């Protein structure tokens, strides 16, 4: 058994898909990092654009870039690190590359990416839109309801050209 096989077995056992934050390259994210200074620890937020993801399994990591005082700062965070408390996606960027290293050469507004609008999935609990029933059975139900209410038959709709009816 080689070292590579041992690593793969460890990764399969320890990687949980729930712990991996949902983000993509080009997204602007807030990375909440636990920083320990002496015997005290605090959480610091690092905000920036995800410019790359590399590795796989337990070794998977992502690089976040931001500009502080006109100087570019990049930090690489492991996905499965206990020091990364959480990752919040603030906005999604439109990108056509897997690595955004070209942003290193850009300054100011040129570093911005177009925003990609992401539609959230509808909840199954949401009330469904009522639709009018069609067919023989529905027609019989309508006639029965109309007879019970007032005895008058509902008017039949004429099939024809709506524009011609509007002119008349």
How confident is the model at residue 56, as a pLDDT? 81
Q: Considering the domain boundaries, does residue 51 fall inside one?
A: yes
pTM reported for the whole predicted model: 0.63
Q: Would the pLDDT of 39 be above 90?
A: yes
44 close to 38: Cβ distance less than 8 angstroms: no
The pLDDT > 90 percentage for the chain reads 39
Distance in angstroms (rounded) separating the CA atoms of residues 4 and 155: 78
Domain count, the chain: 1
Q: Considering the domain boundaries, does residue 146 fall inside one?
A: no
The DSSP result for 66-102, as a single string, is EEETTEEEEEEEETT-TTEEEEEEEE-B--S-S--GG
Q: Considering the domain boundaries, does residue 156 fall inside one?
A: no
Return mean pLDDT, the chain: 82
Look up the CATH number of the domain holding residue 76. 2.30.30.790
49 close to 103: Cβ distance less than 8 angstroms: yes
pLDDT in tens, 87-112: 999 999 999 999 999 999 988 888 88
Q: Considering the domain boundaries, does residue 59 fall inside one?
A: yes
Q: Considering the domain boundaries, does residue 90 fall inside one?
A: yes
Q: Considering the domain boundaries, does residue 107 fall inside one?
A: yes
- Domain containing 75 equals 3-111
Q: Which residue has the tokens 């999604």?
A: 92
Provide mean pLDDT across the span 15-20: 64
Provide mean pLDDT across the span 59-74: 92
pLDDT in tens, 119-155: 776 666 666 666 666 788 888 888 888 888 876 665 6
């Amino acid at each position: 058994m080689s070292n590579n096989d041992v690593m793969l077995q460890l990764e399969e056992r320890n990687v949980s898909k729930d712990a991996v934050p949902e983000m993509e390259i080009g997204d602007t994210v807030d990375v909440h990092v636990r920083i320990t200074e002496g015997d005290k620890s605090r959480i610091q937020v690092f905000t920036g654009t995800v410019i790359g993801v590399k590795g796989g399994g337990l070794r998977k990591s992502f690089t976040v870039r931001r500009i502080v005082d006109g100087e570019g700062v990049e930090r690489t965070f492991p996905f499965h690190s206990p020091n990364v408390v959480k990752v919040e996606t603030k906005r999604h960027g439109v990108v056509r590359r897997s690595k955004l290293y070209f942003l290193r050469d850009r300054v100011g507004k040129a570093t911005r990416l177009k925003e990609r609008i992401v539609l959230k999935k509808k909840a199954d609990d949401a009330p469904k839109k009522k639709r009018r029933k069609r067919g023989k059975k529905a027609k019989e139900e309508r006639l029965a309801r109309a007879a019970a209410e007032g005895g008058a038959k509902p008017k039949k709709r004429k099939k024809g050209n709506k524009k011609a009816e509007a002119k008349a």
